[in-house]
Structure 1
Amino acid sequence: MKTNILVIAGHDPSGGAGIHADIEAIRALGGFASTLITGLTVQNSQNVRGFRLTDVDLLRQQAATLLEDYDYQAVKIGMTGSVAIIDFIAELLQQLPGVPVVLDPVLAAEAGGSLASESLADAMLERLAPHCDVMTPNLPEAQALSGQVTVADCGGELVKRTGCATLITGTHDDTDQVTNHLFSADGEQQWNWERLPHSYHGSGCTLASSIACLRGHGESLANAVADGQAHVDRFLRNAFRPGQGQHVPDRR
């Protein structure tokens, strides 16, 4: 049997990010994704123009039906969109004790545009992150969540507040290399990757889902984070441009 990964995230009709990216990345790494779609977005490879969230009662019914049938080896969380949905996810995770959880704390899309109906930072940190093994913010998201500025201060603050390991990605820096930092109770690790020439739609979703799938396969957190980055680097090197905006990782 394939590894079962539960993905809780939004739908991107352009196919580059969100649920599409999650399913493709998980399948490429030998897992099987089932999904709870938190919202429908209006977006393409250039920008986000709007979104509409899923009714929480419907999500709760879907989740209960899935849990009657599937056992899960990992969970990936992407776009939440509201405090009510965060509360639902926190309740759901209590039914999955011991299952590794990866949180991609989506506040905005890579192409620009908000994917949150209200300030979600406190709710994510207080109600969701403590149930997770690792979160994967980019630096702007880490700054918004922590109230800090530097990578080190952001990582230290987030680990202290949540107990959750934090991988801060350096994709938004203006440097020759992309440096990603993992902060945890064991200290800090970092990886340097060549900065590729394009802007990419769905790279954050792809990274978080790759880590979740590898955790579901039984890899340690440190190995899953390292191997997940390597897979994403490969996907990005084979990226293509389906429209007039960002490139999309070729997740296969």
Structure 2
Amino acid sequence: MNPDAPTGDPQAEAQDLPAPACVMSFNAADASGAGGLAGDVATLAAMGAHALPITTSILLRDSAEIFDQHAIDPDVVAEQARTVLEDISVSGWKVGFLGSAEAISAVAEILSDYPDVPLVSYLPNLGWLEDDVAQPYLEAFRELILPATEVLVGNHKTLTDFLLPDWDSERPASARELAVAAGERGTRYVLVTGIMLAAKGSDQFIDNVLASPQGALTGEKFEMFEASFVGAGDTLSAAMAALLASGSELQAAVGEALAFMDQSLDAGFRPGMGSVVPDRFFWAMPPAEEGAEGLPGAEAEASQPEAEPAEAKGKTAPRRIH
């Protein structure tokens, strides 16, 4: 602090305030604003963290589906991160879609230099990728990212296809079984979303479970929204990264991150003709008038092939970190 600064100087007072946790996100640029880096930056800011966004790919997409991507050169990905890391200390990592197997290798090398910084990895549905790109990508993710991952986040079906590709039982794989498979690669925990539960009357519920190889640890059951969303997984994983970076205990962070995602979806909006986008700044909006409905334009479930599965609806309001 400058000793000559006058009393009440806003700039001097700002320098005395504690800095927010800095979280570096490796993810794709998503011009729709639904997910990718746009979703990560919005979520991290809403949770009180400072985002350090590293572009790994440029997605060509709208609010309904992904059409193509242009992966960023791995050296450029690494140089983006190294330049920032020489100046700013990070408290957490978030890994999303990295674009190519080569970029995964570059990111993994950076992560290996900071083994004590918690990493939250999100595995989206990559069914839109050509097999000759998807297979080496998933293998590199399995070999290089999972060993560094504190919490792997993903939809139940996506994680089952990735971690247990030979699963042929009529019974769905449990969160613990997915955690065991991830643990064999070095991942400590999995946060599995979208686990379908038996319907109760006309209501359909899904489970979201944090598990280790030893068993399920915590989770939340929610009633399903009647809408399809895009960006829910990036929202949940970025919220987790912000909370862990701030020093939150793991199980408490899971509860808060799920609540934040749920409220973001509950306040979601449809900006185009495709899926509903989470509103990460729902808490900044004035209260809705009595009788007003949420999810404008999303009264019926959308049937877009690339949209994320319907997520859960709960009642718990999140606590933002500072």
TM class, shorter-chain normalised? over 0.9
Amino acid at match of 1:125: R
Given the alignment, which residue of 178, 181, 186 partners 1:162? Answer: 186
User: Where do 5+ consecutive residues of structure 2 fail to align?
Assistant: 1-18, 282-322
Aligned to 1:26: 44
1:115, distance to aligned residue in structure 2 (A) = 8.5
Question: Does the residue aligned with 1:69 lie in a helix, a strand or coil?
Answer: coil
* Alpha-carbon distance in 2 for matches of 1:36, 1:114: 21
When the two structures are superposed, what TM-score results if normalisation uses the length of structure 2?
Answer: 0.73
| Mapped contact 2:75–2:106 kept (Cα < 8 A) | no
| Mapped contact 2:94–2:120 kept (Cα < 8 A) | yes
Given the alignment, which residue of 145, 158, 169 partners 2:162? Answer: 145
Aligned to 1:5: 23
* Alpha-carbon distance in 1 for matches of 2:198, 2:101: 33
1:186, distance to aligned residue in structure 2 (A) = 4.5
* Alpha-carbon distance in 2 for matches of 1:211, 1:101: 10
Question: Does the residue aligned with 2:185 lie in a helix, a strand or coil?
Answer: helix
* Alpha-carbon distance in 2 for matches of 1:77, 1:151: 24
1:171, distance to aligned residue in structure 2 (A) = 6.5
Q: How does 1:1-252 map to 2 (within 5 A)?
A: 1-108=19-126, 113-114=128-129, 117-119=133-135, 120-146=137-163, 147-149=165-167, 150-152=172-174, 153-170=177-194, 176-189=204-217, 190-252=219-281
Amino acid at match of 1:114: L
% of aligned pairs identical?
27
Which structure's residues are more often helix, by fraction?
Answer: 1
Which protein is bigger by CA-based radius of gyration?
2
User: Where do 5+ consecutive residues of structure 1 fail to align?
Assistant: none
1:151, distance to aligned residue in structure 2 (A) = 2.9
* Alpha-carbon distance in 1 for matches of 2:66, 2:187: 32
